[in-house]
Every structure is written in C-alpha cells, then in structure tokens.
Structure 1
C-alpha cells in the first residue's frame, strides 16, 4: 500500500462509501482505472459522487490532495 488509507477516509465518508482502511483498499483493488480514464469520468461513480470529486478538485486545497491520492491509487490499482 503506497498511501495510508486513513488519509482517504474523509473523502470516502463524503462519497457515501465505507471508509475504514480495509474497505478503501478493497474498493481500490476492485476499481482499477486504465491510464486513459479520468477519475471523475469513471463509470462506477454516481452523478453526485462525480460532482463532489470535481468540487474537491476545484477547491485546490487539502481536498484536492485527497482526490489526487485516490486518483493515483486507482490508476496504480493499489
């Protein structure tokens, strides 16, 4: 595991997903993204989840860092 899952727990809470470390790791393993797929365009997000991810990216603060961490992990598959 490259990034501690607890750093993503707040984001997963906001996305309405289980947010404990194992659940986050399981989600990432189950939803790998191909390099050409943008995080906010992945088909496994609801419209509300996509909107939240976009909002957090535009915030360009700590929220954006968490979204970027998730993006990296989903593209790495770990």
Structure 2
C-alpha cells in the first residue's frame, strides 16, 4: 500500500510528465482552462491513459483526488 504524500510533482510523475517545478509551471500556463467548463480529464491534451487515471481518481475519491483537484484549480486560474 502506497502511503506517500501526494504532491503536484508526484502527480505529474504518475502521469508520465516532467515533474520539476519549471515544467509543472510551464504545463499549467500552456494548458490554461480559464474559460472552459467540464471535467479536467475530458480535456484533449491528455492521453487516453492519463484521462482514465484522472477520471478514476476523482470518481473513486482516491488518494490522488485531492491533488487532482488542486491541479484542476491551478489550470482554471487566470
């Protein structure tokens, strides 16, 4: 059982993305969702496996759900 603390860095790593601070900030800036509605996992920039992971994390209220919500909030910020 994985009991490690989930962070944006570990989420990005889990999604197979670069997880250093600069890469995370660049991703958030280049994928801004300010004027879009809908679930984060439905966005076209995710691969099918990334979208499935995000959807399941939120639907199952999994360990990852809080950090996925945090990422969603960051992506929706002006």
TM-score (norm 1): 0.81
**2-structure distance, mates of 1:16, 1:71:** 17
The answer to whether 1:58 aligns with 2:59 is yes
CA shift for structure 1 position 55 = 1.7
Deviating beyond 6 angstroms after TM superposition, the runs of 4 or more aligned structure 1 residues are none
Paired residues for 1:1-78 under 5 Å = 7-33=7-33, 34-77=35-78
CA shift for structure 1 position 35 = 3.3
**1-structure distance, mates of 2:62, 2:55:** 13
Show the counterpart of 2:3. Answer: none
Answer with 49-58 or 20-29: which moved more: 49-58
Aligned length: 72
Structure (1 or 2) with the greater helix fraction: 1
